[in-house]
């Protein structure tokens, strides 16, 4: 047996051994909510029929905004009613709300944000408008970067309409692109790419970014690095027009929906560890 035959024999034996080794399984993603069965449904009063934004406020309470009024509604889910209203702006197209420490931020669809200090009533204005963005719809806070996150619903028609997340740093006052939502991230099981963000929230425990879309009824979950973890298709009967999304500090998920022939409502989903 010559050296070439020995080499070929060893090569074949090596390939056989590697082929027989157990394959390392890719870790499957576990979605930690039963999105088909909300643990609670809370009907909103008439002035929140068009509820468009949602944020955790404090124990048992959520801050909500109507997309036509510059009023923050504090909803107490234990008492199942609005317990406080805070007027912080003129009427307009409000599409996002976020509470950060002692400050409430509300965002118009053009990217204009108003901050309101709960303790002393002082205000500040933040301009996140961008010539490439036709409409924002969704506001959240990223604690690791100390930034407000804004997600686009639609960009200018003559430009690339990839959905984009922008970030405004509360520490440095800088505003820039944060993540781009590529088309392969939003393709559903039917192959359709219908996805127009209506709300965004950062998970307080996992750091994941949740983006909900009323159009197409989908929930996109990105890892903290912006990689796709899951695309959940939502039941249109449960989610009539989902617009707002937020978490409590313990990870429970709340999604608000505008009403069509009825009042708006908020759904609660328990976080399973």
Q: Which one, of 242, 66, 81, lies nearest residue 153 by Cα?
A: 242
CA distance 116 to 118: 6
Q: Supply the pLDDT for residue 203.
A: 98
Whole-number pLDDT of residue 91: 77
Q: What pLDDT is stored for residue 161 in this prediction?
A: 65
Q: Distance of alpha carbon 250 from its chain centroid, rounded?
A: 17
pLDDT (0 to 100) of residue 7: 45
Q: Output the DSSP codes for the chain.
A: --HHHHHHHHHHHHHHHHHHSPPPPPPPP---S-TTS-SEEEEPPGGGTTEEEEEEEETTEEEEEETT-SEEEEEETTTTEEEEEEE-S-S--EEEEEEETTEEEEEETTSEEEEEETTT--EEEEE---TTEEEEEEEEEETTTTEEEEEEEEE-TTS---EEEEEEETTT--EEEEEEE-GGGS--TTS----EEEEEEE-TTT--EEEEEEETTEEEEE-TTS-EEEEEEPPTTT-SSEEEEEE-TT--EEEEE--SSS--EEEEEPPP-
- Per-residue pLDDT at 111: 95
The residue written with tokens 């127009």 in the block is 196
Q: What is the pLDDT of residue 162?
A: 78
What pLDDT does residue 227 have? 92
Architecture of the CATH domain 50-269:
7 Propeller (2.130)
Q: How many CB atoms within 10 Å of residue 8?
A: 10
- DSSP tag of 79: T
Determine the pLDDT at residue 92: 80
Whole-number pLDDT of residue 190: 66
| Residue position matching structure tokens 């740093």 | 169
Q: pLDDT digit of tens for each residue in the chain (273 aa)?
A: 555 454 455 545 444 444 444 444 446 889 999 999 999 999 999 888 889 899 999 999 999 998 777 899 999 999 999 999 998 877 788 999 999 999 999 999 999 999 999 999 899 999 999 988 989 999 999 999 999 999 998 765 555 667 899 999 999 999 999 998 887 788 766 666 788 899 999 999 999 999 999 988 999 999 999 999 999 999 999 999 999 999 999 999 999 998 777 789 999 999 997
Q: Where are the domains of the chain?
A: 50-269
Q: What is the value of pTM for the model shown? A: 0.87
Residue in 234, 236, 240 with CA at minimum distance from that of residue 211: 234
- pLDDT at position 132 is 87
Taking only the tens place, the pLDDT of each residue in 67-81 is 777 899 999 999 999
């Amino acid at each position: 047996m010559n050296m070439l035959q020995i080499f070929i024999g060893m090569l074949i034996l090596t390939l056989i051994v590697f082929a027989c080794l157990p394959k390392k399984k890719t870790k499957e993603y576990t979605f930690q909510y039963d999105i088909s069965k909300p643990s609670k449904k809370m009907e909103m009063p008439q002035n929140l029929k068009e509820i468009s934004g949602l944020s955790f406020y404090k124990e048992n309470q959520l801050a909500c905004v109507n997309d036509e009024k510059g009023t923050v509604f504090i909803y107490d889910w234990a008492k199942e009613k609005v317990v406080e209203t805070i007027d912080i702006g003129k009427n307009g197209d409000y599409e996002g709300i976020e509470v950060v420490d002692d400050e409430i931020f509300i965002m118009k669809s053009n990217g204009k944000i108003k901050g309101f200090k709960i303790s002393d009533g002082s205000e500040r204005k933040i301009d996140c408008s961008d010539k490439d963005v036709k409409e924002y719809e969704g506001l959240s806070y990223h604690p690791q970067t100390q930034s407000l996150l804004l997600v686009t619903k639609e960009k200018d028609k003559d430009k690339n309409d990839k959905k984009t997340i922008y970030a405004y740093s509360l520490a440095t006052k800088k505003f820039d692109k944060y993540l781009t939502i590529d088309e392969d991230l939003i393709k559903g099981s039917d192959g359709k790419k219908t996805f127009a963000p209506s709300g965004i929230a950062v998970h307080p425990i996992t750091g994941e970014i949740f983006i909900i879309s009323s159009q197409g009824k989908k929930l996109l979950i990105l890892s903290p690095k912006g990689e796709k973890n899951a695309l959940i298709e939502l039941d249109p009967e449960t989610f009539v027009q989902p617009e707002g999304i937020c978490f409590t500090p313990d990870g429970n998920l709340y999604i608000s929906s505008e009403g069509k022939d009825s009042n708006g409502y908020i759904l609660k989903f328990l976080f399973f560890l």
